[in-house]
């Protein structure tokens, strides 16, 4: 079977892990290449012209958080300057951060953090999904808590093993299909990704 390639552009390691997982559930043999991740949102925005060029030859999945923008349409308008987006460039926006998608799979979250901590029934409506995740991770088993939650007295917003621990868990345990049942923004992203992949590869 001949592999099909999707370029993957993300803000951070956690978003990259989620993007890889989304691509892995597409039909056929799909590989993420090239992978662009370096300097957060402004890096991605600066790379848009290059991503548009890449999209002439293959699919491009770009994930960027909504953060404090009013809505996904506002972000798209700001980034694209009313220019037409290439058909094979898929720009998807977790509401409000990728942690909302992460939190949406309650089954996987319970395997990670244990039975304690209140999981959000509608994670897309959280004002700060990352802070919610850090808060409930304080009730996790010691090894998980040590990786995810910052040490007292440090300036970091998260533990030094935050990305590594969550990225491994996303690759092995987190389910996009389960998470999409609680996250409308993830469900829309998965649907558009499938449609774009079918268009590019001709799969039915």
Host domain of residue 24 = 4-98+182-201
DSSP letter for 124, please: G
Q: Say if residue 91 is in the same domain as residue 128.
A: no
pTM of the complete model:
0.94
Q: Using an 8 Å Cβ cutoff, are 176 and 190 in contact? A: yes
Mean of pLDDT values over 106-133: 97
More confident residue, 184 or 202: 184
What is the per-residue pLDDT for 203?
54
Say whether pLDDT at 204 is over 50.
no
Q: Say if residue 55 is in the same domain as residue 154.
A: no
Say whether pLDDT at 82 is over 70.
no
Q: Say if residue 16 is in the same domain as residue 86.
A: yes
pLDDT per residue as tens digits for the range 162-176: 999 999 999 999 999
What is the per-residue pLDDT for 58?
96
Ranges of beta strands (E only) in 54-105 are 59-63, 89-92
Burial of 146 (0-12, 13-18, 19+ CB in 10 A): middle
Average predicted confidence (pLDDT) for the chain: 92
Q: Say if residue 93 is in the same domain as residue 186.
A: yes
Q: Say if residue 111 is in the same domain as residue 172.
A: yes
Percent of the chain with pLDDT over 90: 79
Count of the separate structural domains present in the chain: 2
Say whether pLDDT at 156 is over 80.
no
Q: Say if residue 45 is in the same domain as residue 63.
A: yes
Q: Say if residue 192 is in the same domain as residue 138.
A: no
Q: Using an 8 Å Cβ cutoff, are 130 and 117 in contact? A: no
Say whether pLDDT at 122 is over 80.
yes
Q: Say if residue 18 is in the same domain as residue 51.
A: yes
Say whether pLDDT at 188 is over 90.
yes
Q: What is the C-alpha to C-alpha distance for residues 121 and 104, in angstroms, rounded to an integer?
A: 8
Confidence of residue 153 (pLDDT cuts 50, 70, 90): low
Mean of pLDDT values over 186-201: 95
Q: Say if residue 11 is in the same domain as residue 90.
A: yes
Q: Say if residue 91 is in the same domain as residue 188.
A: yes
Domain of 77, CATH number, reads 3.40.50
Q: Say if residue 151 is in the same domain as residue 197.
A: no
Q: Say if residue 192 is in the same domain as residue 93.
A: yes
Q: What is the C-alpha to C-alpha distance for residues 136 and 140, in angstroms, rounded to an integer?
A: 7
């Amino acid at each position: 079977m001949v592999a099909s390639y999707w370029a993957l552009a993300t803000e951070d390691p956690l978003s990259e892990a989620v993007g890889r997982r989304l691509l892995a559930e597409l039909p056929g043999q799909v590989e993420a290449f090239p992978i662009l991740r370096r300097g957060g949102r402004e890096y991605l925005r600066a790379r848009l012209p290059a991503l548009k060029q890449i999209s002439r030859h293959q699919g491009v999945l770009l994930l960027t958080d909504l953060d404090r923008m009013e809505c996904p349409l506002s972000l798209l308008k700001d980034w694209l300057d009313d220019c037409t987006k290439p058909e094979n460039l898929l720009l998807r926006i977790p509401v409000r951060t990728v942690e909302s998608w992460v939190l949406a799979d309650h089954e996987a979250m319970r395997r990670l953090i244990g039975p304690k901590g209140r999981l959000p029934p509608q994670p897309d409506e959280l004002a700060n999904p990352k802070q919610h995740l850090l808060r409930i991770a304080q009730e996790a088993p010691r090894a998980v808590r040590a990786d995810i939650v910052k040490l007292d007295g440090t300036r970091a917003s998260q533990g030094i093993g935050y990305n590594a621990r969550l990225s491994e868990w996303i690759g092995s345990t987190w389910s996009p299909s389960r998470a999409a049942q609680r996250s409308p923004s993830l469900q829309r992203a998965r649907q558009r990704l499938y449609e774009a992949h079918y268009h590019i590869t001709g799969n039915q």
